[in-house]
Chains A and B, each alone.
Chain A
């Protein structure tokens, strides 16, 4: 494939994927015959396949979904059509065989997925070369290898690197070591366990620690939490043990830590998982990053793994209603905290339901689409003015963490007491964050598709709080590949997507689909 994406029209010869052990070179004998005929046939076949894929994934689906029937009339179908790989024609499934017999064209591309169908095999064929193009197109929107890394690769079980270098320098974990283990509850520590599980199944953090990002053998800091994390990742992904894990080092690092901001956390009482998440992120940032404490409200940038993974930036624009002068303030964020309470109350009044259901989109709209009024001191007018304030996301993080503010202090009759908001908030498996960024305003439909793709997130893990505020319990769901698992302290169970989506989420972790 072309190594230089900037010159797509380069006359470079197409190449098949170089053979690797344990992988056949072609998807089937017939693809082999097609691609081995001559360099020209191979070039044109691959170029045509790329063109078809562009047509499917970059333009409106109506084109590939429309075929011409026997009478020459266009027919649009909801189900798959087949695009001939050898000539520019779109066929319905019924006409496919006829075309093949007439023209001796044997390869067709499924119009909804881009998958290759071989008529002689009468089966879908997963050819390594063509399949790589398809997966990359779906993942990143581009065929080039060096610009973006495919999201799938993080989960995939294969490697591009030279196997000899790898086998000489690494030790291989058992096939049993899957990273799926529970963590024992050390006495009201389930709020830690859920956050640790979501870190353990975060591909970015996993890759960082498993590639010796922070080696506990080289670190001299006593009771370093990052070392404890390193050890934990080792134990999860390299040991065969299926028993629960005892996070003793995390726990002692946590007790010994001197973070004053999280003093509250260090008790033997059940605590807030979100606070622990913040604590852990800050602690790991300090151990791996520039050592500076992130100032809340400032635009703090750092190259540490925590910043690379979780931190984004948001921009608040304040526009004076008098002179229409606007000021921008940018600050970094570790997570988005979304209010549920006011929205739920408003919805309850409107619909009369006791616990009206909300969506994640509702909550995001409230914070990052709508603007609110405030008073501020305008420099231009040199006086206090009414102003409109709008917050949007300036830079999206690789892993977007969202907190649904289910725990609120409410002014009761006698005192302020924490209460839990039990409204169901539905959340999607796939989240498009484009409407909440500051680029959402200037829309250009052509650019939009690309932009939207770069703002697409997939759900990675969900932290759920069950029960009452004081007596509740935390469980979490994490996705490994396409399979969801439920982590309830030391117990790990299979989970269905419906279990995950039906859960009362407290923290949500979304991972970006294509890494820039």
Chain B
């Protein structure tokens, strides 16, 4: 009980300190030691398990390559040995410490090597361009970007004016220098009632006037359309809807949204909309009904599809198809790069129109 510090040796009492003082320091130091060792143990567990799995996947691959007779149901009847593991009788046995014998990590699902460092931002390293990596990348930590390294076209003050947004983008956005390849613009979505294509940031407003059929809003919306909609030939709500500044009580009028915008995020700022909302023509990208739409999925966002998804996915793997229709839907959902003619009773609207936003900007930092 006389030492001035604990296991970690970082929090240290002065040599002339009293014994109570020393005790306090050594307790605190021990607690610090425990915190660090818990963190270390967690990382150690993750890392060592991943390496052991990698060693197992490798030796299993070699074993299944070595014997042609193997079916997916039964393991190949061979004995294979690598530096890290032995394959025998359908079992994998480790050789040595996987932390020493295995240096990389294979994805347990797609069996491709995992990218171990982010491609951009904090802690970024250049990936080897000759290797096809697993698509699960480390998340990117970079100011102004999201976890995938994406950023969005700053909408500027006049959200209704897309052209102006484009001009202003350099000045207002967080990434002013040049437009990186993976800057996305806002997509459009189809209104489920009038089937018109509306820029997503205006969707709520549009639905308010287009669908707004619940209770009092119906008459209000109708009244607005009669009053303000005459001069307009666009499906967007007339400007009069947003011009009434009555911020007293909630939920009494659909017009007060201006007051509630957020200040943090310029994309969602609607403040200036009342000034320019009449200019919305360019948001109508398509007027096709949504029923017969091909999926031009976000193929530009993703690199080549890798075919060997033989390991069950934990996320979707509970999707046991009990009904005949189920696989159709899931097919659509898992093979997004194929232009599939599947249409799902008009519910593809979302995915479909989202892709319109991504197509314009292929991300180059993905490889």
Contacts and interface: CB of A to CB of B under 8 A. Distances in A.
Interface string B349-362: 11101110110000
A172 B311 contact: yes
Interface in A187-228: 187-190, 206-207, 210-212, 215-218, 223, 227
Contacts of B203: 186-187, 246, 248, 251
Interface in B192-232: 192-193, 200-205, 207-208, 211-217
B121 to A, nearest CB: 10
A175 B321 contact: no
Given A240-B336, A263-B216, A252 B192 contact: yes
Interface stretch (A163-171, A359-367, A435-443): A163-171
Interface stretch (A4-12, A100-108, A485-493): A485-493
Given A170-B321, A251-B203, A243 B264 contact: no
A185 B265 CA distance: 10
A156 interface: yes
B146 A493 contact: yes
A182 B297 CA distance: 17
Nearest to B345: A217
Contact of B334 (A163, A172, A190, A475): A172
Contacts of B354: 241, 243-246
Nearest to B346: A249
Q: Which of A80, A241, A252, A267 has the most CB of B within 10 A?
A: A267
A327 B141 CA distance: 56
B147 A473 contact: no
A265 B207 CA distance: 13
A172 B312 contact: yes
Contacts of B241: 268
Interface stretch (B11-19, B162-170, B249-257): B249-257
A157 interface: yes
Contact of A240 (B30, B53, B135, B315): B135
Given A25-B91, A175-B136, A243-B298, A79 B334 contact: no
B22 interface: no
A242 B298 CA distance: 9
A184 interface: yes
A249 B347 contact: yes
A238 B329 CA distance: 11
Nearest to A237: B315
B152 A491 contact: yes
Interface string B298-317: 10011001000111111111
Interface string B135-170: 111010100001110101000000000000000000
Given A238-B330, A241-B298, A217 B325 contact: yes
A119 interface: no
Given A79-B34, A123-B99, A187-B201, A246 B350 contact: yes
Given A172-B311, A241-B336, A491-B146, A157 B318 contact: no
A263 B215 contact: yes
Interface residues of A, number: 116
A375 to B, nearest CB: 33
Interface stretch (B37-45, B124-132, B278-286): B37-45
B212 A485 contact: no
Given A187-B204, A239-B351, A249-B350, A32 B261 contact: no
A472 B93 contact: no
A174 interface: yes
Contacts of B214: 255-258, 263, 266
A94 to B, nearest CB: 11
B259 A267 contact: no
A382 interface: no
B117 interface: no
B92 A466 contact: no
Nearest to B73: A164
B190 interface: yes
B202 A466 contact: no
B187 A246 contact: yes
A396 interface: no
Contacts of B351: 235, 239, 241
Contacts of B330: 170-171, 234, 238
A490 B186 CA distance: 10
Contacts of A490: 146, 152, 267
B327 to A, nearest CB: 7
B313 A21 contact: no
A179 B315 contact: yes
B3 interface: no
Contacts of A161: 317
B85 A251 contact: no
A113 interface: yes
Contacts of B208: 255, 266-268
Interface string B91-112: 1111111010000000111101
Contacts of A73: none
Q: Which of B6, B134, B251 has the most CB of A within 10 A?
A: B251
Contacts of B112: 175
A28 interface: yes
Given A238-B334, A247-B350, A493 B147 contact: yes
Given A126-B49, A172-B109, A485-B147, A156 B314 contact: yes
Contact of A185 (B255, B268, B310, B312): B268
Nearest to B152: A490
Interface of A: 19, 21-29, 32, 77-80, 110, 112-113, 115, 121, 123-124, 126, 156-159, 161, 163-167, 169-180, 182, 184-190, 206-207, 210-212, 215-218, 223, 227, 231-232, 234-235, 237-249, 251-252, 255-258, 260, 263-271, 417-418, 466-467, 470-473, 475, 482-483, 485, 488-494
Given A240-B298, A249-B350, 19 more contacts: A25-B92, A112-B38, A115-B41, A161-B317, A166-B320, A169-B319, A170-B313, A173-B315, A180-B147, A246-B189, A252-B207, A267-B208, A268-B254, A269-B253, A471-B263, A475-B264, A490-B146, A492-B146, A493-B146
18 contacts: A78-B7, A169-B320, A170-B313, A171-B330, A171-B333, A184-B201, A186-B207, A187-B270, A212-B326, A239-B351, A243-B354, A246-B354, A255-B207, A255-B211, A267-B253, A268-B241, A492-B147, A494-B139
